[in-house]
Amino acid sequence: MNTQKTVLTAEEKELAGLIAKQCKNQGDIHAVLKRLFSGTVEEILEAELEEHLGYEKNSAAGRNSGNSRNGYGSKTVISEYGESEIAVPRDRNSTFEPQIIEKRQNRSEEIEEKIINMYAKGMTQRDIEETIRDIYGAEVSQSLVSRITDRVLPEVNEWQNRPLDDIYAVIYFDGIVFKSRKDNKIINKCVYSVLGIGMDGRKDILGL
């Protein structure tokens, strides 16, 4: 973002005032974070299916392999941001068992906190790999960690380096409190987020 002082015209000031009057609900922050959370979970599920099948999507290695992709199912997951519709990939033999969101699991518990933290500034590839291991537990294979990292890391880098507007009509600050486990105790942790609403009404999470 350009840090130089910008002088608004009278028309821009009027437009910013109109946007501010229409945007008074901090639920906008939750909606943007919910899309970030659900999109990342879907990328992780794609990596899980690749690990299960043993080949990447559209790879020649999948020909005559005995199993293949078979579209998607839909699953509703309840997170701190509200309900999210997750597209769950399927295999033709119905042997794929999702791990990050299991078949009978409809609450994301601590997963969303860990996923949102991956988008915060300062998370290295090693940090992300450790976060993935933390999500899955000790039984996760290095192969699966690598597949997930290869899918998630470009998304994280793109989000962190995306261009921002010079001017935002409205800035919202919000904090979402999560239950988190530390030293065998459940504690409250707060993830702070900053939402900017541009002069065109578009919403951006400016920082976490």
Distance CA 135, CA 127 (A): 12
pLDDT: is 201 or 67 the higher one? 67
**123-139 burial string, b = 16+ CB within 10 Å, else e?**
beeeebbebbbebbeee
In terms of average pLDDT, the best of 46-55, 76-85, 191-200 is 46-55
For residue 127, what pLDDT is reported?
A: 86
For residues 148-167, give the mean pLDDT.
88
For residue 71, what pLDDT is reported?
A: 92
- pLDDT higher than threshold 90 for residue 48: yes
- pLDDT higher than threshold 80 for residue 15: no
Chain segment 101-140, per-residue pLDDT in tens: 876 666 666 688 788 888 876 678 888 888 898 888 877 8
